[in-house]
């Protein structure tokens, strides 16, 4: 598992942040001898939490893999190439793949304009997943902290980027087998499951009062509405800047 992730990190990130890289052909990225999807499927088969695999469109999968420039030997490349994305725990967490009608954004599409400006740039971080409460998971490429390759969580109740000390593979294990109820104990309201299961993967909940305020600390006493995930992300970034937390 660690070797697979090491390949991912070396392939995707480099010391030359935002430098242009030599783009590999799609044929060079598809590993048929040691496909990472076999391993990811094995993990999913043993998962304690509910995992839904969204099917992918082959052409879109190839395009997303090429744009991301990761090999299918890696878990990230495997998920991009073999799935439209993964929905975890009634759709509470959405792990990005190559896009699907219920999660209509690929990993590279979602990162464009956020972690890189144009295809071919090496990003300082990479957004890999988000959740129904408006939290965002990202792999550190050097900009988030002194631990490249590790996952950070931008929490909606404090707008801080929390270092989880997890690699991408470890993050998948957390999603598949972790105690999500404990991790999200302050962000889940009573009887959230049925409501979240109907939520589109391109939406997240916006809360009023906002969860990072004193008045918004009790999730069961605030109002909520579904908003586009892009809108929520931009709002989070704007408030972070206004509060002096970071861009």
Tokens of 119: 């295809």
Put residue 69 in one of left, alpha, beta given phi > 0 → left and psi -120 to 50 → alpha.
left
Tokens of 184: 């999200």
pTM for the whole structure = 0.90
CA distance 107 to 216: 31
Per-residue pLDDT 10s for the chain (247 aa) are 545 444 444 444 433 333 456 889 999 999 989 999 999 999 999 999 999 999 999 999 999 999 999 999 999 999 999 999 999 999 999 999 999 999 999 999 999 999 988 887 888 999 999 999 999 999 999 999 999 999 999 999 999 999 999 999 999 999 999 999 999 999 999 999 999 999 999 999 999 999 999 999 999 999 999 999 999 999 999 999 999 887 6
CATH of 2-242, one of 2.40.30.10, 3.40.1580.10, 3.30.70.260, 3.40.50.300: 3.40.1580.10
CA distance 135 to 194: 19
């Amino acid at each position: 598992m660690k070797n697979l992730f090491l390949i991912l990190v070396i392939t995707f990130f480099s010391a030359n942040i935002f430098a242009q890289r030599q783009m590999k052909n799609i044929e060079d990225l598809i590993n048929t001898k040691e496909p990472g999807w076999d391993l990811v499927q094995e993990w999913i088969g043993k998962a304690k939490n509910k995992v839904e695999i969204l099917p992918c469109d082959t052409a879109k999968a190839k395009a997303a893999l090429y744009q991301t420039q990761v090999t299918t030997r890696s878990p990230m490349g495997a998920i991009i190439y073999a799935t439209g994305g993964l929905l975890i725990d009634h759709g509470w967490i959405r792990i990005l793949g190559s896009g699907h009608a219920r999660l209509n954004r690929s990993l590279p599409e979602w990162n464009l304009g956020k972690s890189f400006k144009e295809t071919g740039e090496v990003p300082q971080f990479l957004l890999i997943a988000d959740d129904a409460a408006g939290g965002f998971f990202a792999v550190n490429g050097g900009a988030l902290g002194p631990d490249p390759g590790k996952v950070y969580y931008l929490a909606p109740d404090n707008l801080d980027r929390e270092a989880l000390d997890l690699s991408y593979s470890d993050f998948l294990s957390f999603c598949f087998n972790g105690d999500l109820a404990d991790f999200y104990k302050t962000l889940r309201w009573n009887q959230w499951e049925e409501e979240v299961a109907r939520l589109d993967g391109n939406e997240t909940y916006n809360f009023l009062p906002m969860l990072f305020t004193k008045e918004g600390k009790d999730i069961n006493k605030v109002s909520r509405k579904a908003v586009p995930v892009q809108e929520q992300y931009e709002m989070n970034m704007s408030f972070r800047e206004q509060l002096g937390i970071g861009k």
